[in-house]
Structure 1
Amino acid sequence: MTRRTLLKLFILFLLASCSEKPIPQQSNIIPAPLEQVMAKGHFILDGSVNLVSENKLSLVSNYFESYLKNTYKLMFSNTKEDKSIYFQINNSIENEEGYTLTVTPLKILIESKTEKGAFYAVQSLLQLMPAKTKEKSITIPCTKIKDEPRFTYRGMHLDVGRHMYPVDFIKKYIDLMAMLKMNTFHWHLTEDQGWRIEIKKYPKLQEVAAYRKETLLGHYSDQPHQFDGKPYGGYYTQEEIKDIIAYAQQRQVTIIPEIEMPGHSQAAIAAYPELGCTNKKVAVATKWGVFEEVYCPKESTFKFLEDVIDEVVALFPGKYIHIGGDEAPKTRWKNCNHCQQLIQKENLKDEHGLQSYFIQRMEKYINSKGKQIIGWDEILEGGLAPNATVMSWRGVNGAVQAAKEGHDVILTPTSHCYFDYYQSDGENEPLAIGGFLPLEKVYSFNPIPEELNDSESKHVLGAQGNVWTEYMPNEKKVEYMAFPRAVALSEVVWSSPKNMDYADFTRRLESFQKRLDLLNVNYANHLYEISGTTKSIEGKMYYELNTTSKDSPIYYSTDSLPPARLYNGPIPITASMIIKAVVKGKNNEDLSQVFEQRINAHKAFGKNVLLSKEPHKTYSAGGKEALINGVSGSDKRYGDKEWLGFSGEDVVIMIDLGEFKTINSVATRFHNGNGQWIYAPKKINLYFDMGNGKEISFDNFFKPNDSLLVNFKVNLTNIRARRLRITVPNYGEIPAGKQGAGHKAWTFIDEIIIE
């Protein structure tokens, strides 16, 4: 062979090497695998690939084949080829949901002990592929993954009692869960506002309980209440439910039905008044909240519930039935002769003991059907049913108590798992129930309470995201509230904490959101959203800007003009000002909405503040300094970092101005969202230390007020002081007939402004 021929061959080789080929995708798998090692090379997936599967994994391999056909228009070869994808059983893998995934240039090998593990391997493999391509082949980077979940229970919840959604959307919701390796769908099927499951023995549940005459408009806290005047309702037939269950099973998702008892049962009582204590006719509830109508523990009521359970058990093959058990007012029971006689007969302590009796009796029946119960943490009150699993939503205390008593627990606290809460400080966020739960806070959740030792921690099955739908009238709103917070939670419950890094998660989330785009998911995109914090540096006050996407620059202004200055560090605050900021892309385009923050440099701004009581840890993100940092809280929600929340406690606030100053006014405001158990105080005391033994004190009383926000301001004369003390007594016990009746109210305090 001549040198010229060799040169021609070499040039042809170079040209072939440089020809256009699919570019391997960077690994962006969510949730993060336990172990992953990237290797050189890639596997080309095209029509020349052979698919080989053991019979035990054929359902998963068929799912994979169907997905490729529907998404990428790819078909496997029917003949033996050089390149193959293998699904194999490997009994040495201990975890029932674990798997290994090996990608080499000529072979993809999926190994697992069960179908579940193989299915989760497929989900990881799919994320190694482009979300979409027009190419006739797909390039998959070579890698080796060894993976298994941290928790056995990885759940998402959906309330269809307040608003219900089509069967196709329920399936879409399950598909999204499966993509994220979540394995449990908690389906909340009955409520005061609607009964959503067909029970053939009791047709009035479909005819009456499934429909309400109208629906509340706006927020529950808006006064007076307004309604739309339109009938609303529906239910899922048993055939529809069977179809959804089969669909979920193919995706390794177990469905847990929730049939509420003894509370949240007004819809059922509307259909069958004899189930209540008064036998009086009531209507299906048209607004949200907690209602006095609860099941009366009569033999006929238990017979009704047992009949319902019989039909539910026949439909749902999973291990659990959720019986609710939360927010059951005792007013009807206290005034019911039958209930009081039953308390005496069964030697129960009180109505809480009666609730425990109710739950334990239903547990025995459900156990007799081969099922176990799950209940909200209120089922702990009066004594826990012997075999019950507790779903802890009012913080983690219920989980701690139950785990220490040897019961399994699932964590779903409002602080980290309630996806009906606001997820952004932006004033343009759609209406939500309240609270504040940004993506990063979800990601920071550790489902193992620090109060549990290693042995007790074994009772923590996992965690669940809750989607209560009072303010979600359609599927798009559900998607907006649930995603991407559900994506963050999926990593919390699957991945090892050592592999979790929020900055890396947001990088991978940017890629994952392209998949959500293709699925037409209306997720909330706050990746470039700006947040700000007032901070003291060497005795001087500054405002610090942050955004999740660290690679994108922030531009800002302090003079009401469009943001134009590159942000390089904290902004000095020497006077009141308005800060505007925006995240810019590579082409100087705006990636975020314009952030705007007003800073009020009043006389207490940045001064020393002390509190007699620490705010509740769930509502203390801004710390005590939030009261004097120059930034007022949101007008719409109480859960952002500028509001401090105190649970049932009086609080004394002491402010040191650093020197004697003339004080012309003191102002603050209180959140008064009674629907969330939050009440403004009935009075405030102001005390001023004017030096030289002089002091002055004022008591300021509030008039009853139904406004969501209650403003306080007192104008003063001849007051010159260095220190002042503000005493804020708790409102006290919530009145009967109100949500949370009998409990101590919450107090939420905003910025204290001294002029």
Structure 2
Amino acid sequence: MRSNIFFKLVILLCIVSCTKPEPSITPFILPTPSFDGVSNEDFVFDKNVSLHTDFELRSAANFANDFFEEKLGYKLPYDSKPNGNLLQFIFDESIENEEGYELKVDISLITIKAKTAKGAFYAFQSLRQFFPATVENKTFPHKTILLKCALIKDAPRFVYRGMHLDVSRHFFSVEFIKKYIDMMAMLKMNTFHWHLTDDQGWRIEIKQYPELQKVAAYRDETLIGHYNEEPQQFDGKKYGGFYTQEEVAAIVKYATERFVTVIPEIEMPGHSQAAIAAYPNLGCTGKPTKVATKWGVFEDIYCPTAETFTFLENVLDEVMPLFPGKYIHIGGDEAPKTRWKACEHCQALIKKEKLKDEYGLQSYFIARIEKYINSKGKQIIGWDEILEGGLAPNATVMSWRGTEGAVEAAKAGHNVILTPTSHAYFDYYQSDNDAEPLAIGGYLPLEKVYNFNPIPKELNEEEAKHVLGAQGNLWTEYISTSEQAEYMVFPRIIAMAEVVWSNPTKRDYQQKDYQHFTYRLSLFHKRLDAQNVNYANHLYEIEGEITKQNEQLVFDLQTTIKDKTIRYTTDESSPTITSEVYNGTLPIEGSTVLKAAVFNEKEKLGRDFTLTFNNHKAVGATITLDPTPSKAYPGSGKEGLINGVSGSSKRYGDKEWLGFSGKDVTIKIDLGKPTTISSISTRFYNASGQWIHAPEEIGFSFINDEDGRTLNRIALISKSDATLIPYTLQIEELTTQYIEIFIPNYGVIPDGLQGAGHKAWTFLDEIVVK
């Protein structure tokens, strides 16, 4: 009898514990709102909550109710006179911003106020983050949810908040495109830039030109590994696909329901080899070509003939009705002029139209297409190359080669969108760790995205009004799966979302704000987990460098998350929970291999960090450098050339490689006193696919103050197709205090290579003096 009572008591306790709501979570909204305040009281959310909406906001309210049905298993009953708690969507014309909103959660009432359904939709995306993350994958165990009472008043900083996806290099399913749009909408991004055509594949059905589906949509094979690897290898497998117009319409409808505008990109006049493979008469030679099987820039571009313009106008006539937004992106970038220079028709057209040169012909091409698109009630966007030869009258410029194009266009009165490689190219590496998946190159960590300010400092207040916003780009040469695409996009898209949405007074681009952002992001990871997003988690990785404290070289280690412990080893073994604790100072006594990792009380949280210090005679010396490296590839500055740390052997965008764009480089090293040396060595990166070429020679000068003697050497470099070009100058023992190194730029890249006609980049690693 007593055991039976005990059993019933256990059952009763279990029932009580299973039905008791979990404590409410404190919402840390991403992107951060303009104003937010949270109280300790709760709103009880369950299926008894009623829903009311004003007519103007009904689409946002319907979306919210569909969300509840999908995630919680029930819809809220519509009732303007509820008996219990209420969620209401109230039209409020006094809210100034079209996308702004006010969200207030009280004990018995949730009120969303907005001027438009779009503003109300964004309010709900904020409210969504009041709910436990497990709601996202329908695993929340309780029928009742407690929502923290709060007040949020919010509006976006920019009208254009975009994400790009290239489906030409690699093709992605309709299901993934919809997931991509869902994640954008959750982060209040409002523009999906869909890159549909390129040299490696044409991805949209055009009914009038069936060869685009039969030929241009498929390539014979695909490059394996990196473009810079020699010899290049291919997989031998046919690859491709395209979206039917019905699929495109369904995706656009799906995006529209989430207040995301889809902008299609139909590339012209360059990046058109796939189309020319289908219809050879569109090119200047008329000769057959094939859909490109490797990455890069190709010389077969559209020839500006009547036949070509008829083709493009017919294509656009099928494309434009599918996309209700006002913009059509026409590319305009990376169009080599080789074919045009050799084309009789092109040269005759230049003379007939009194154009200056082939760049003027490109401007003529873009202006003619713009006029046609304008006649259909649309406007064009183009990459910043459309500035070359003169900008089309009504064009919006997407500035990717830095911010210079944006500045030039804005000063001329044109609208601009910032998407520079330095802060917005999510196909770049996001970590120095060698375990990162293969990427095109570059280095764009999360913090750099977060600290991006889309308003160039060269613009005054009036000119800055032409900056519509910014966009993250995902080019997919080295991204073949949806899982990898998510890994490259997340969490950098979240940082970009905060850049384009949040008021700068809430984000003053200081380290403390980034640390708070990463704290909020660490909580948001649970929501990404629930949504099955394959995000990159670098929050528990270590940043390390060599610094000098009181004339002593030390290892300086930092972590993004500050409440964790760093443990390290110096015997080349992997650190464990029992390894030494880093306390903020670790003197360097000589050449050392340091390994470190982040731990909590029980286990290792992130990947191992390795920093190899090779001591040599120039470490700690005084160095001058002319010119300064590119802002996009500054490495660790001039001191990074003699800090005892070599750059990665796999990539050129880390903190140790210094990049110089088209310029000769002079380096002067003062050893502090006459010093006997026997060799100088360094490395150059050599990647023609990225316009990077090692120099063909180096000049050396050595000066000893005691006798004033100068010894000059000109050293030739043995060039090869290797990615890394090492060089060592062996010297009979020489006493010198000053070393001067002159590195001439490779020069103009010749025809037939990527970047032909442009001056090459020089990338330089550690200078080792022994």
The answer to whether the 8 A contact 2:641-2:767 is kept is yes
Structure-2 residue corresponding to 1:184: 191
Give the conservation status (yes or no) of the 8 Å contact 1:422–1:437: yes
1:140 maps onto 2:147 in alignment: yes
Cα distance in 2 between the residues matched to 1:468 and 1:69: 36
Measure the CA separation in 1 of the matches of 2:435 and 2:122. 37
Partner residue, 1:514: 526
Q: Secondary structure at the match of 2:263?
A: strand
1:301 and 2:308 matched: yes
**In structure 1, what is the Cα distance between the partners aligned to 2:83 and 2:307?**
67
**Residues 1:318 and 1:78: Cα distance change in structure 2 (over 3 Å):** closer
| 1:620 aligned partner, one-letter code | P
* Structure 1 residue 561, shift from structure 2 partner: 4.0
Residue 72 of structure 1 deviates from its aligned partner by: 2.5
Could you tell me which of 614, 631, 634 is aligned with 1:617?
Answer: 631
Aligned match of 2:247 in 240, 248, 251? 240
State the partner residue of 1:653.
667
Q: Is the 8 Å Cα contact of residues 690 and 719 (structure 1) preserved in structure 2?
A: no
Report whether the alignment pairs 1:28 with 2:28.
yes
2:525 aligned with 1:523, yes or no? Answer: no
Kindly state the Cα deviation for residue 367 of structure 1 after the two structures are TM-superposed: 0.2
State the Cα distance separating 1:28 from its structure 2 match: 1.4
Question: Are the equivalent residues in 1 in contact too, given 2:20–2:142 (CA < 8 A)?
Answer: no
Residue 751 (structure 2) aligned to one of 736, 744, 747: 736
What is the match of residue 553 of structure 1?
Answer: 565
State which of 700, 708, 731 in structure 2 corresponds to 1:716: 731
Q: Is the 8 Å Cα contact of residues 574 and 601 (structure 1) preserved in structure 2?
A: no
Q: How does 1:381-396 map to 2 (within 5 A)?
A: 381-396=388-403
- 1:74 Cα deviation (Å)? 4.0
Percent of residue pairs identical = 59
- Name which of 669, 683, 687 aligns with 2:701: 687
Residue identity matched to 2:44: I
Matched, 1:465 2:472: yes
Rounded Cα–Cα distance in structure 2 between residues aligned with 1:488 and 1:693 = 55
The Cα of 1:361 is off from its aligned counterpart by: 0.3
* CA displacement 1:100-144 (0-9 Å, x = unmatched): 000000000000000110000000000011111211111111111
Matching residue of 1:122? 124
Tell me the TM-score normalized by structure 1.
Answer: 0.97
Using the alignment, how far apart are the partners of 1:387 and 1:574 within structure 2? 63
Distance 1:561 1:236 in 2: 51
Query: In structure 2, how many angstroms separate the alpha carbons of the residues matched to 1:78 and 1:180?
Result: 27
Distance between the aligned counterparts of 2:193 and 2:572, measured in 1?
48
1:20, CA displacement in angstroms? Answer: 4.8
* Cα separation, 1, equivalents of 2:309 and 2:174: 31
Q: Structure 2 counterpart of 1:460, which letter?
A: V
Q: Report how far residue 516 of structure 1 moved.
A: 1.0
Could you say which residue in structure 1 is the equivalent of 2:85? 83
Three-state SS of the structure 2 residue aligned to 1:312 is helix
Matched, 1:281 2:293: no
Partner of 1:636: 650
Question: Would the aligned equivalents of 1:49 and 1:84 in 2 still touch at CA under 8 Å?
Answer: yes
Matched residue of 1:572: which SS? coil
Q: Deviation per CA, 1:333-354, whole angstroms, max 9, x where unpaired?
A: 0000000000000000000000
Report matched runs for 1:65-84 at 5 Å: 65-77=65-77, 80-84=82-86
CA contact (8 A) 1:542 1:572 kept: yes
Q: Return the letter of the residue paired with 2:726.
A: N
Distance in 2 between the 1:560 and 1:261 partners?
53
- 2-structure distance, mates of 1:59, 1:119: 8
List aligned pairs for 1:206-355, cutoff 5 A: 206-355=213-362
- Cα shift at 1:77: 4.1
Query: Could you tell me the TM-score, scaled by structure 2's length?
Result: 0.95
Select which of 532, 543, 550 maps to 1:538.
550
**1:426-478 deviations in Å (ceiling 9; x for gaps):** 00100000000000010010000000000000000000000000001111110
CA distance in 2, matches of 1:730, 1:624: 18
Quick one: which amino acid aligns to residue 183 of structure 2?
L
Give the counterpart of 1:170 among 177, 180, 183: 177
Contact 1:25 1:140 (8 Å CA) reproduced: yes
Q: How much has 1:27 moved relative to structure 2?
A: 1.6
Shift in Å at residue 75 of structure 1?
Answer: 3.6
Kept after mapping to 2: 8 A contact 1:46/1:74:
no
From 78, 91, 94, the counterpart of 1:92? 94
- Contact 1:74 1:136 (C-alpha < 8 Å) held by counterparts: no
Task: Give the secondary-structure state (helix, strand or coil) at the position aligned to 1:168.
Answer: helix
State the Cα distance separating 1:422 from its structure 2 match: 0.3
How many pairs were matched up?
738
Q: Summarize deviations over 1:141-183 as a string: whole Å, max 9, x none.
A: 1111000000000000000000011100000000000010000
Aligned to 1:13: none
Q: Between 107-116 and 554-563, report the one with greater CA deviation.
A: 554-563
* Cα distance in 1 between the residues matched to 2:410 and 2:96: 25
Question: Which residue of structure 2 aligns with residue 478 of structure 1?
Answer: 485
Question: Is the contact between residue 653 and residue 727 of structure 1 (CA under 8 Å) also seen in structure 2?
Answer: yes
The one-letter code matched in structure 1 to 2:112 is I
Structure 2 counterparts to residues 491-510 of structure 1, below 5 A: 491-500=498-507, 501-510=513-522
CA separation in 1, counterparts of 2:645 and 2:332?
Answer: 40
In the TM superposition, what is the alpha-carbon distance from 1:696 to its structure 2 partner? 1.0
Query: 1:715 offset after TM fit, Å?
Result: 1.4
Is the contact made by 2:52 and 2:78 (CA closer than 8 Å) also made in structure 1? no
Q: Which amino acid in the other structure matches residue 437 of structure 2? A: P
Separation in structure 2 between the aligned mates of residue 584 and residue 73 of structure 1, nearest angstrom: 40
Offset, 1:21? 4.0
User: Equivalent residue for 1:54?
Assistant: 54
CA–CA distance in structure 2, aligned partners of residues 439 and 536 of structure 1:
27
Q: 1:498 and 1:722 mapped to 2: Cα distance? A: 50
CA distance in 2, matches of 1:159, 1:712: 38
> What are the superposed Cα offsets for residues 350-407 of structure 1, whole Å, 9 maximum, x if unpaired?
0000000000000000000000000000000000000000000000000000000000
- Cα distance between partner residues in 2 of 1:557 and 1:369: 66
Q: Report how far residue 283 of structure 1 moved.
A: 0.5
Separation of aligned partners in 1, 2:684 and 2:166 = 31
Cα distance in 2 between the residues matched to 1:71 and 1:47: 12
Q: Find out whether 1:567 has 2:569 as its counterpart.
A: no
CA distance in 1 between counterparts of 2:371 and 2:68 reads: 47
Q: Helix, strand or coil: the match of 1:617?
A: coil
Secondary structure at 1:311's aligned position in 2? helix
2: CA distance, partners of 1:638 / 1:40: 50
User: CA separation in 2, counterparts of 1:312 and 1:448?
Assistant: 32
Asked if 1:749 is matched to 2:761, the reply is no
Distance apart, 1:314 and its partner CA: 1.1
CA–CA separation in structure 2 for the residues paired with 1:75 and 1:203? 45
Equivalent position amino acid for 2:616 in 1: H
| Displacement of 1:483 | 0.7
Q: Which of 420, 423, 430 is 2:430 aligned to?
A: 423
Q: CA deviation at 1:39?
A: 2.0
The 1-side partners of 2:574 and 2:761 are apart by 40
Does structure 1 conserve the Cα–Cα contact (< 8 Å) formed by 2:666 and 2:742? Answer: yes
Q: Which amino acid aligns with 1:353?
A: G
Instruction: Could you tell me which runs of 5 or more consecutive residues in structure 1 were left unpaired when the two chains were aligned.
Output: 1-15
What are structure 2's unaligned runs of at least 5 residues?
1-15, 135-139, 508-512
Counterpart of 2:704 in 1: which secondary structure?
strand
Take 1:52 and 1:62, find their aligned partners in 2: how far apart are those partners? 10
Q: Aligned letter for 1:706?
A: D
Alignment-mate amino acid for residue 127 of structure 1: Q
Contact 2:200 2:294 in 1 (8 A): yes
